[in-house]
Structure 1
Amino acid sequence: MESTLSHYFGYDTYRPGQKEIISRVLDHKNVLGVLPTGGGKSICYQVPGLMLGGTTIVISPLISLMKDQVDQLKAMGIRAAYLNSSLTQKQQKEIETQLRNGEIQFLYVAPERFDNAYFISLLQQLSIHLVAFDEAHCISKWGHDFRPSYQDVIHKVFALPQDFTIVALTATATIEVQKDIMERLNIGKNDEVKTSTKRRNLVFQVNPTYQRQKFVMEYVKEHKNAAGIIYCSTRKQVEELHEALQSNDINSTIYHAGLTNKEREAAQNDFVYDRVRVVVATNAFGMGIDKSNVRFVIHYNMPGDLESYYQEAGRAGRDGLNSDCILLFSERDIGLHQYFISSSKADDDYKDKMGEKLTKMILYTKTKKCLEATLVHYFEPNEKLEECEQCSNCVIENKTYNMTDEAKMIVSCIARMKQKESYSVIIQVLRGEDSDYIRYCDYNELSTHGIMKNYTTSELSHLIDELRFKGFLNEHDEILTCDQSVKDLLGGQVEIFTTPFKRKTREKVNINTVEGVDRALFDELIGVRKQLSESLSIPPVSIFSDFTLEEFAKRKPETKQEMILIEGVGSYKLKHYCPMFLEKIQSYKSKI
């Protein structure tokens, strides 16, 4: 493995995750690799492809991406080709002849190519040991770049007669998308290789400025020798910003789907070959662009989801040097994405999912927590978090409230519990609340039961989140545990500061109640839960805890978008359980 890497690619060692993926492929195991942008995903199929011999089929989404990869392989003396609509009939015939003669080691194709019966017949004649799905998030309906053709091609690949291995690779996939890919490609749960999404050379910033164009002009002038991408939501904004840059003597180009293929190719080449240093574009630009020295990516508008944002922002700093990822946020951006979702012809499940993703994107723009840690937590909820100390939230000096005493109380409470618990249970114990579960676990007997009874649920959530994002608490499958670092906290070696949070008038917590809960509605929701429990033959608390039902009775959500923000509501429960509760809440409110 190392000799192949050194001989063809000039590297002495593998990057994190690469060797594990390649080893599984060589052991003839289907594998999913989730590596960050710039993490060297292509090597994960190129090295084993060279070692296994024959022709490796690479399914790729974009013509520009195919061309870049083929040019790079040819430059290393590796025989590679692509088949797509950019080739003439004569060129395609030449490549088909080379394939039959075993002269091509890597063949890049779009998934739509498999709709061609002649192409399928050609593949059946080849010696194929490896099939690679590049940009594999396109397979999943829940991925941000979903392409139905990526799903449709799977059964055609599996129908090929050769005994081959499958490797799927992506940089941006949530846990849900990862599971979907693995199920569709028959990848075992132990054959997923993930590395951290952290890229410490990227400096994330959120700027809610109302003077976006002015900010861009000033930033680009201050970074006059830096290459960068500026993403806009619409073609009109792309053209307006481009004109403003040109009028300020800033050499830039534009890229969007309204241009001809020739115009887009010229713009891309001008940027890649440093003839212009700034490209203003819609999200049509960027996938597979081989330019490692992009020093900044500015989002002129908020994207609709964090996957799109992170993939686009991740095109900065692929050479490992410090680069800026700046999101300019306006409340008006929210309305545009809500319009995109509501006017979509997709089914309701898909619209609901896009609404959830938009909510998470909005929360990113509002959070006071570390931006890098927020992104890491979104893609890998179980990963240990730590503050980057360089994003716009980490450097701002607004954490003036000393929460060390509260932190010690929270940690002491968690340490005394006889088993690992979730956010909601920990908060209930700290507030001194009562429930069947708390009594069953004897948590009402703990010395820490009610130790923070004067704090509201939202205040405790804020404090616990601060501990989580600073790495004092770790999370695994929504269960919180203390990190080793809490010893320094309890020993008095460290102090913890957070942003000041609003306090309500301190009132004693009534047993088995939460401030503001509508008890009549709560009782009706209990009835709904009981009905669901009996029909599904599962325990009531497995549907929703009392804590979650009390939150329903307090907030009275009327939409799924409002419900997903409540503790204890996940995507599955939102889809399968929430409609009955929403119907009950709406019915109850109509009678008031």
Structure 2
Amino acid sequence: MTEVDMPTADGSSEARATLHRVFGYDAFRGEQEAIIDHVVAGGDAVVLMPTGGGKSLCYQIPALVRPGTGIVVSPLIALMQDQVDALRALGVRAGFVNSSQDFDERRVVEAEFLAGELDLLYLAPERLRLDSTLDLLSRGKISVFAIDEAHCVSQWGHDFRPDYLALSLLGERWPDVPRIALTATATRATHQEITQRLDMPTARHFEASFDRPNIQYRIVPKADPKKQLLSFLREEHPGDAGIVYCLSRNSVDKTAEFLSGNGIEAVPYHAGLDAGTRARHQARFLREEGLVVVATIAFGMGIDKPDVRFVAHLDLPKSVEGYYQETGRAGRDGLPSTAWMAYGLNDVIQQRKLIQSGEGDEAFRRRAQAHLDAMLALCETAQCRRGQLLNYFGQEPGEAGCGNCDTCLTPPETWDGTVAAQKVLSTVVRLQRERGQKFGAVQIVDILLGKRTGKVIQFDHDQLSVFGIGQELSEAEWRGVVRQLLAQGLLAVEGDYGTLVLTEASGSVLRREREVPLRKEPKRPTSAKAGSSSGRGERKAKTAVPELPESLLPAFEALRAWRAEQAREQGVPAYVIFHDATLREIVTAWPTSVAQLGGISGVGEKKLVTYGEGVIGVLAGLGGTPDDGEAGGGKAAAQGDPAADDWPEMDAEPEPDDWI
């Protein structure tokens, strides 16, 4: 047992000492200290905290302070090695046991656990179904059970994992060992289900704000999404690391190829690629600077890369939980980042079709529909998007807007779309009642605009009384009307061809009993910069993190180059050495000695010993302290941890070749 492991009479004091000594911070942030004190004292806890909020510290420090080994139950098999490497770089004795190891490797880790030579041991939930694993744990000393990604226990959640249902046995077999269940994504209902299914009735509940103020949320009208994405990356995120999500594998491949062909280094990731290719692309993303991964939702589990500067969606996510989880992979280091999405009418139609044609009973479809409705409400809101997100998770936003989302920076115009809605609904009625026909949005819009297309002439739709009655709006505007009617439940999608039909609510609009307020469709921009609600400069100005003075940029880049070299030599991701946020503080404080470097946030004892001379050598080689720098510098509160807040999700099946 190391010095860090020895408990004291004052658990809180020991926890703060461990925070300083191991992780390099002088103060906890938010409710971290209250959570840690509660678990150190032997209490169970259910913790809801956003990605990058410091969840890992809430179980890592109790595992270091309490006698024994902390057992971390995590679904993140593919990244357990990276998690363990990051902890070992801090001087924490960590290990894992999973199916990626051979017999001898597992035997060594098991022996270390039994000998009390591990501070933390990572296990996948399915491993706890094995009698051999339970027998192993019964023969060792356990300090705490941490159940990470606890929302996976929810059968109504967006990433249910059946193996999580068996984790209630931990409390039965080890009633004296505290348990802490943690997640970054849970509604009130999921929160309650976590508590019930894990059998933690006496657990104390801690809920941090879901707000990620450094992330700017933006949703733009979908026109040519790949070109829009390219403009967005060139104008706002040149050379930055990021993730682009598409719904289908074909879209992933085409988008990655398109970006690579236009000078953006990008690789694909989806379940259709062989395991070796997926592993290589994931490793490159973690270890290289500025790589873009284009992926289905199969990518993201455990991606704790702190300097992901953007997450982009070219297709509509299925739920707000999924959207929040995916966008949360940006800006884990607290620096300015963007959540950007291109969204259009076809997204709504395709998602509705997937729900109707997908597997599952009626209750499942109703739940999926409710998830989609909430996602559509987020896309169509004229109010603050951040406020809408917080409301969804049961948290009250501030009275004023956030000032860092597109609807706050450029408030959308609204208009009374009742008459326009009546025209669309009347066209659907005429087709069904007069002709016994059902058509999709394209035909409806062509009829309203009075276009004599081949299909309109073929079916004599130019003879309908509604033909040409909608020429006051453009095609894009009519598509926006149809999209918003679908989002409001005033139209529905039916069949494999996405035909439009009325709903029970449609009649109230046709009878003039209900008004239909609509968002005005923005004019399509010629570039992402022109069409964004905020350019790169304004985006960063809206965050609490100031830009580095120009005089410090050479030092920052020199430290990044030194860090990259260290990472290559050790075969670990660059963030395992130091986060960008730590490098920023180093160049701002400009320490001239190893002792002064020890005053920087994120520089614990092990990293100070390992890298201190190297950092000071880089700064000294640059010619001394610049005018902007001041030697010294104090430590900040505990920052977002590099713990994984992601998990594997299955590709949507069946999936179309492409529907962008």
TM-score after normalising by structure 1: 0.65
Q: Which residue of 2 aligns with 1:353?
A: 367
Secondary structure (helix, strand or coil) at the match of 2:333 reads coil
1:265 aligns with 2:274: no
Residue 82 (structure 2) aligns with: 68
Identify the match of residue 136 of structure 1 among 122, 130, 150: 150
Give the Cα separation in 2 of the matches to 1:260 and 1:276.
Answer: 24
**Counterparts of residues 428-439 of structure 1 (less than 5 Å):** none
Partners of 1:2 and 1:174 in 2: CA distance: 31
2:61 aligned with 1:47: yes
Question: Residues of 2 paired with 1:209 and 1:161: CA distance?
Answer: 53
| Displacement of 1:383 | 5.2
2:285 & 2:505 partners in 1: Cα distance? 55
Matched to 2:205, the amino acid is: E
> Is residue 224 of structure 2 the alignment partner of residue 218 of structure 1?
no
Counterpart secondary structure, 1:205: strand
Correspondence 1:331-410 to 2 at 5 A: 331-382=345-396, 384-398=398-412
Q: Aligned residue for 2:304? A: 290
Deviations 1:280-338 (A, max 9, x none): 11111122212111111110101000011011111111111111101111222223333
2:181 to 161, 165, 168: 168
Aligned-partner Cα distance in 2 for 1:274–1:65: 16
Question: What amino acid is aligned across from residue 55 of structure 1 in structure 2?
Answer: T
What is the CA distance between 1:213 and its match in structure 2? Answer: 1.0
- The 3-state SS of whatever aligns with 1:42 is helix
Amino acid in structure 1 at the alignment position of 2:98: N
What secondary structure sits across from 1:196 in the alignment? coil
**Paired position in structure 1 for 2:36:** 22
Superposition pairs of residues 54-133 of structure 1, within 5 angstroms: 54-133=68-147
The whole-number CA distance in structure 2 between the counterparts of 1:2 and 1:400 is 52
Contact 2:44–2:202 under 8 Å retained in 1: no
Alignment of 1:442-481 (within 5 A): none
Q: Which residue of 2 aligns with 1:13?
A: 27
Name the aligned partner's letter for residue 5 of structure 1: L
| Distance (whole Å) between structure 2 residues aligned to residue 317 and residue 276 of structure 1 | 14
Deviations 1:355-403 (A, max 9, x none): 10111001111111111111011012445453112211112254699xx
The 1:189/1:332 distance shift into structure 2, 3 A limit, reads: farther
Cα gap change, 1:553 to 1:75, in 2 (>3 Å): closer
Q: Is 1:37–2:63 an aligned residue pair?
A: no
* One-letter amino acid of the structure 1 residue matched with residue 391 of structure 2: H
CA distance in 1, matches of 2:353, 2:303: 30
The answer to whether the Cα contact below 8 Å between 1:138 and 1:145 also exists between their aligned partners in 2 is: yes
> Per-residue deviation at 1:126?
1.4
Output the amino acid matched with 2:315. N
CA distance in 1, matches of 2:192, 2:172: 22
Which residue does the alignment assign to 1:517?
none
- How far does the alpha carbon of each residue in 1:529-553 deviate from its partner, in whole angstroms, 9 at most, with x for none? xxxxxxxxxxxxxxxxxxxxxxx99
| Alpha-carbon separation, structure 2, partners of 1:146 and 1:100 | 32
Shift of 1:349: 2.4
Give the whole-Å Cα distance in 1 for the aligned partners of 2:31 and 2:244: 31
Deviations 1:525-579 (A, max 9, x none): xxxxxxxxxxxxxxxxxxxxxxxxxxx999689xxxxxxxxxxxxxxxxxxxxxx
Deviations 1:409-439 (A, max 9, x none): xxxxxxxxxxxxxxxxxxxxxxxxxxxxxxx
Distance 2:209 2:349 in 1: 33
Q: Which residue of 1 aligns with 2:463?
A: none
Instruction: Report the counterpart of residue 432 of structure 1 in structure 2.
Output: none
- Residue 630 of structure 2 is matched in structure 1 by none
Contact 1:136 1:169 in 2 (8 A): yes
Q: Closer, same or farther in 2 for the Cα pair 1:30/1:227, shift >3 Å?
A: same
Task: Tell me, in whole angstroms, the C-alpha distance in 2 between the residues paired with 1:553 and 1:212.
Answer: 32
Q: Do 2:387 and 2:396's aligned partners in 1 also have CA atoms closer than 8 Å?
A: no
1:239-270 Cα deviation digits (max 9, x unpaired): 00011112112211111112222211211121
Q: CA deviation at 1:209?
A: 1.9
Deviations 1:19-74 (A, max 9, x none): 12112212322111111110011110000111112111111011133222211111
- Larger relative contact order (Cα-Cα within 8 Å, sequence gap ≥ 6): 2
Shift of 1:184: 2.1
Matches within 5 A, 1:541-560: none
Contact 1:127 1:162 in 2 (8 A): no
Residues 1:237 and 2:251 aligned together:
yes
Residue aligning to 1:154: 167
CA contact (8 A) 1:129 1:163 kept: no
Amino acid in the other structure paired with 1:86: S
Identify if the C-alpha distance between structure 1 residues 384 and 28 changes in structure 2 by more than 3 Å, giving closer, same or farther: farther
- When residues 556 and 183 of structure 1 are mapped into structure 2, their CA distance, relative to the original with a 3 A threshold, is farther
Work out whether residues 30 and 186 of structure 1, in 8 Å CA contact, stay in contact via their aligned partners in 2: no
- 1:339: Cα distance to partner? 3.7
Q: Does residue 277 in structure 1 map to residue 291 in structure 2?
A: yes
Pairing 1:3–2:23 present? no
Residues 462-541 of structure 1: pairs in structure 2 closer than 5 A: none
Q: Distance in 1 between matches of 2:505 and 2:314?
A: 39
Other-structure match for 2:325: 311
Q: Does the 8 A contact of 1:376 with 1:385 survive in 2?
A: no
CA contact under 8 A between 2:240 and 2:308: conserved in structure 1? yes
Q: Give the TM-score normalised by structure 2.
A: 0.59
1:121–1:400: structure 2 CA closer, same or farther, 3 Å change rule?
closer
CA pair 398-111 structure 1, distance change in 2 beyond 3 A = closer
Distance 1:332 1:62, change over 3 A: same
Q: Deviations over 1:216-251 (max 9, x none)?
A: 111122222221111111111000001111211221
Equivalence for 2:500 = none
Indicate if the aligned counterparts of 2:93 and 2:118 stay in contact, CA closer than 8 A. yes
1:162 deviates by 5.7
- C-alpha contact 1:137 1:173 (8 A) present in aligned 2: yes
Deviations 1:102-158 (A, max 9, x none): 22221111111112211111111111131111111111112221111111x223323
Q: Distance in 1 between matches of 2:399 and 2:367?
A: 26
- Percent identity, please: 39
Write the distance in 2 (CA, Å) between the matches of 1:218 and 1:384: 33
Q: Which moved more, 1:229-238 or 1:338-347?
A: 338-347
- Alignment RMSD: 2.3
Q: How far apart, CA to CA, are the structure 1 residues paired with 2:113 and 2:231? A: 53
Task: For 1:302 and 1:331, locate their aligned partners in 2 and report how far apart those are by CA, in whole Å.
Answer: 10
Distance 1:162 1:174, change over 3 A: closer
3-state DSSP class of the match of 1:68?
A: helix
Who is 2:222 aligned against? 209
1:581 — aligned with what? none
Shift of the alpha carbon at 1:167? Answer: 0.3
Q: Which residue of 1 aligns with 2:190?
A: 177
Question: Contact 2:168 / 2:199 at 8 angstroms: preserved in 1?
Answer: no
Q: 1:194 to 1:313 in 2, by over 3 A?
A: same
Number of equivalenced pairs: 407
Residues 56 and 106 in structure 1, CA contact (< 8 A), matched pair in contact too? yes
Q: 1:127 to 1:162 in 2, by over 3 A?
A: farther
